[in-house]
Amino acid sequence: MLVRAHIIVSGLVQGVCYRWFAEKKAKSLGLTGYVKNLFDGRVEVITEGEKGLIEELINDLKIGPLVSDVRDVKIQWEEYEGKFQGFNIRF
């Protein structure tokens, strides 16, 4: 089942290679979308693909890279739109 997920990650997730970590994991799972830092210190991930693969990504996002400290991950499931060509970091 193809779905879209809007994910917001809170904690020590900026300045610790979190976006690179998320991009690498999403690409390895064949997901599309993007990751970007928000002005308030959180990280936003928008991704599309198979629900089970997105759930795998979410499990990785809850851990993050070694130097991160993930405090909270909020997920909003949405309808698949198919608008992304790949997965990348947005600035």
**Residue 34 covered by a domain:** yes
Predicted pLDDT of residue 2: 98
pLDDT digits (tens, 9 = 90+) for 9-62: 999 999 999 999 999 999 999 999 999 999 999 999 999 999 999 999 999 999
Structural domain boundaries enclosing 29 = 2-80
pTM score: 0.96
pLDDT the model gives residue 70 = 98
Which of the following is catalytic: 4, 37, 59, 71?
37
Total domain count for the chain? 1
CATH number assigned to the domain comprising residue 40: 3.30.70.100
Is residue 89 domain-resident?
Answer: no
Tell whether 56 is covered by a domain: yes
Active site residue 4: no
Average pLDDT on 56-79 reads 98
pLDDT, residue 52, reads: 98
Tokens read off for 78 = 């949405």
- Concerning whether 42 is annotated as a catalytic residue, the answer is no
